[in-house]
Structure 1
Amino acid sequence: MLQSLKEAKKVVGTKQAKRAIINDEVEVLFVAKDAESRVVNGLVDLCKEKSIEIVYVDSMKELGKACGIDVSAASAAILK
């Protein structure tokens, strides 16, 4: 599942993911387990409201690498 992030149309980061969720553009949300809860709780709640699948990733570093960026990422979303 994580491999699909490399090729898929996506947004990386909490602000961009939140905007995409609000605009009903998200298919799957990826959240790093080690991200601060205050950062990602709003996203998780929005996804539950809108019945969007949430996939948890072990670390922010792993999520960033899967997205093809050189920094850690708390969240990323695959767009419809």
Structure 2
Amino acid sequence: MTLDDLSTAKSRVVGFKQTKLALESGEAKTVYVAKDAEKHVTDPILQLCKHRGAKLCFVDSMIMLGKSCGIQVRAATAAIIEE
């Protein structure tokens, strides 16, 4: 999965809280995590990905992840969700 897949996804969530909810409900298909995000934010998401079996993709920066999601701010995590 690439950032283009995230950019063109019909259904996605952005941010820690929304990504966490999507993982907990089993809707997250692919999760994107920014490498420069703080560990206390990314560690719970990484654990949930492992537990739920979601695909995991790392992105170089929070700025890049935010832009790929079409927002003007940084994002630590995002996910493509099942429709």
Shorter-chain TM-score tier: over 0.9
Structure 1 counterpart of 2:5, one-letter code: S
Pairwise CA RMSD of aligned residues? 0.6
Rounded Cα–Cα distance in structure 2 between residues aligned with 1:6 and 1:55: 14
Counterpart mapping for 1:15-26 below 5 A: 15-26=17-28
Aligned residue for 2:81? 79
What aligned pairs does 1:1-20 form with structure 2 within 5 A after superposition? 1-8=2-9, 9-20=11-22
Gaps of 5+ in 2: none
SS at 1:61 equivalent: helix
Q: What SS is found at the alignment partner of 1:70?
A: coil
* Alignment: residue pair count: 80
Normalising by structure 2, what TM-score? Answer: 0.94
TM-score by length of 1: 0.97
Percent identity of paired positions between Structure 1 and Structure 2? 46
Moved over 6 A (4+): none
In 2, Cα distance between the equivalents of 1:12 and 1:62?
Answer: 13
Unaligned runs of 5+ residues in structure 1 are none
Distance 1:67 1:60 in 2: 11
